Structure 1
């Protein structure tokens, strides 16, 4: 026998009878849930009853973190990219379950999360055998994974509150943004005349379009329209846990970006060369689809994003250019446009930022410098007008 008891304010208690004791009294499993109405609560009761009768139900007070782990994996399935899920699983298997897996969810307190985070900040916590501490982003990701499984337990009614909410996530230090000056950009472009055409094209995409490494690696010929001088950025390639293609960019914002005529010409030349040597080869990256990647090997396999940074480092060293991160070419693209007085909204759109505030946060100091330069025009204008008035 199973039934629902209203508990007020959208709360309902589910009751499932599983037998009787020696005195003939009913033995029940109970769970309180949130539902819009009694009809929805009865649907939840049906699932609860099936779970109880199958023998897979564990009372919330008895469930350990390790026992709840499979439920969490089901819960996040489809909500995260394969790479993110793989990263979370690594953190769970290597850092969280070995120490906290035996604990009942109901006994995990904010102090456990606090100690977990503080331990990660100490020396000797790296697993790659390298010296030094874990990066702030790694510590933060570990915290987020722990928070995620506990929040899942809250959402499923296993525990009432997330103990990780009582602990502030580690702060990330701002990464240093370094960019090339106009003179350095000119030197870079001159050096590109001495490298293979594909590298020249790839670097010019980073500079003139502001595309990220993963976005460049994922470019296909279908994304290029040289007649209208546009390039479509709609997917990204990751090599963190083996090559995987994401149908979205970092900010989940597809964008069509205008490119200079010189870049369109480079695309046409490169396409002709690859066609001539029959090097435009279809490739299935594992998603069951055929892709014609622009920067690919003889078998059509796309270039790995990390190999781009490796080549860039060798390139800057060989041609005696000041080394900045490859990602800083994206920043160089933005600051170049800022110094040319291009509107912030246009720059934000070209970079694929989720909103203009992101652009302001990242490039605020460059915008301030450009603004100071703009004020000089007013000073000069007003001084000239004042001088004329005295004549």
Structure 2
């Protein structure tokens, strides 16, 4: 059966071409037309036309082979609604979905949402991701480009959406074939040994609950969500061991306003020994909280949970309150301002500099692999390696 096709530039964009291919006949006897918009690569018109003809040949071969999936005229922004309803709300953790939604609403839909699914090519995806490397790409008021890790997260969201489009046979191939950006592993901004001593000197001036919150953060290396999800049944006050088995995240779609789930990975479920000086403080705090809970009686809002760190009524603190308390504390006592999460990095750095083995540090942090710990704290492991080699110089 005879077939023929054509290519021509469409619109003002020199890279935009329409390819058309005629094969077979419709019920009315007229030739059946297959047509789609493409992005043609090349610096000159001749190069772009040649690339468009190449894509036309591939398009024709695909139809003649019987592998062609006729795309629906569906805009990406409309497909994202289906993706969210049929996949995301069922498969993604609520906190993850919130992060996905943020990128979809602020970056992906405004830039790519007007395209039909079949129009989006690797070239368009590459251009979209390249724009994130330009100054002004951040949304926090800083005139800077996004970091590699942030660009990779946006890429991950787009790839997930198109993976479902392939899976549900709206398109044949996923256009997100672009390689990930290089990410710089960082141990954050940590306190020195002297600054750590200053921190521990001023912590007793806080109310007992917040003293313990920050002290456990820096001496045990727990993530904020793990601290917020810690319950009294997770602490063995006789042995001085914490069982880290939950992480708390926030959600507006639940009755309580929060979700208690497993930590970041299977290795994050772990047992951690507490410093001996913390145990009597925890006993005292436990007794205090028990009294307060009994006094509140029906006013208790913790329900089935008895969190170690919560407001006076037993409910978890609001999402940003621990950060607010930390910033107020450092300002009040003139401590160098670092992020609350950097107490975790301070913990790891201090242990490595004091020659605690990498496997132990990795286990206490709940990392999935010791190699990941080594990558993040590479500069510190180099210091300890140098110290180890110098031992032989004294022989």
Task: Quickly name the TM-score band, shorter chain normalised.
Answer: 0.7 to 0.9
2:343 is the alignment partner of 1:309:
no
Provide structure 1 residue ranges, at least 5 long, that are not aligned to the other structure: 1-19, 24-57, 383-391
Taking the aligned partners of 1:79 and 1:369, their CA distance within structure 2 comes to: 43
Change (3 A) 1:278 1:342: same
- RMSD of aligned C-alpha atoms? 2.8
2:385 is the alignment partner of 1:371:
yes
Provide structure 2 residue ranges, at least 5 long, that are not aligned to the other structure: 1-25, 30-68
Taking the aligned partners of 2:378 and 2:275, their CA distance within structure 1 comes to: 26
1:22 CA drift (Å): 7.8
Task: Calculate the TM-score normalised by the size of structure 1.
Answer: 0.74
What's the secondary structure of 2:205's corresponding residue? Answer: coil
Taking the aligned partners of 2:348 and 2:245, their CA distance within structure 1 comes to: 20
Conserved? CA contact 1:283–1:290, under 8 Å? no
* Alignment correspondent of 1:49: none
2:164 is the alignment partner of 1:143:
no
- Residue 62 of structure 1: which of 69, 73, 80 is its match? 73
Change (3 A) 1:122 1:364: closer
Taking the aligned partners of 1:121 and 1:182, their CA distance within structure 2 comes to: 37
* Alignment correspondent of 2:189: 178
1:254 CA drift (Å): 0.8
* Alignment correspondent of 2:238: 227
**Alignment length (residue pairs):** 322
2:275 is the alignment partner of 1:260:
yes
Task: Calculate the TM-score normalised by the size of structure 2.
Answer: 0.73
What's the secondary structure of 1:262's corresponding residue? Answer: coil
1:218 CA drift (Å): 1.4
- Residue 293 of structure 2: which of 261, 268, 278 is its match? 278
Cα shift readout 1:214-252 (whole Å, capped 9, x = no counterpart): 111111111111111111111222348785324121234
* Alignment correspondent of 1:360: 374
Cα shift readout 1:312-362 (whole Å, capped 9, x = no counterpart): 222222212222222121122112222332221111111000011111111
Taking the aligned partners of 1:75 and 1:320, their CA distance within structure 2 comes to: 49
Cα shift readout 1:134-155 (whole Å, capped 9, x = no counterpart): 6324443332222211111122
What's the secondary structure of 2:272's corresponding residue? Answer: strand
1:302 CA drift (Å): 1.0
2:265 is the alignment partner of 1:251:
yes
* Alignment correspondent of 1:236: 247
Taking the aligned partners of 1:304 and 1:319, their CA distance within structure 2 comes to: 24
Taking the aligned partners of 2:114 and 2:381, their CA distance within structure 1 comes to: 53
Taking the aligned partners of 1:264 and 1:195, their CA distance within structure 2 comes to: 17
Conserved? CA contact 1:218–1:245, under 8 Å? no
* Alignment correspondent of 1:103: 115
What's the secondary structure of 2:176's corresponding residue? Answer: helix
Change (3 A) 1:93 1:315: closer
- Residue 226 of structure 2: which of 215, 218, 238 is its match? 215
Change (3 A) 1:298 1:375: same
Matches within 5 A, 1:5-44: none
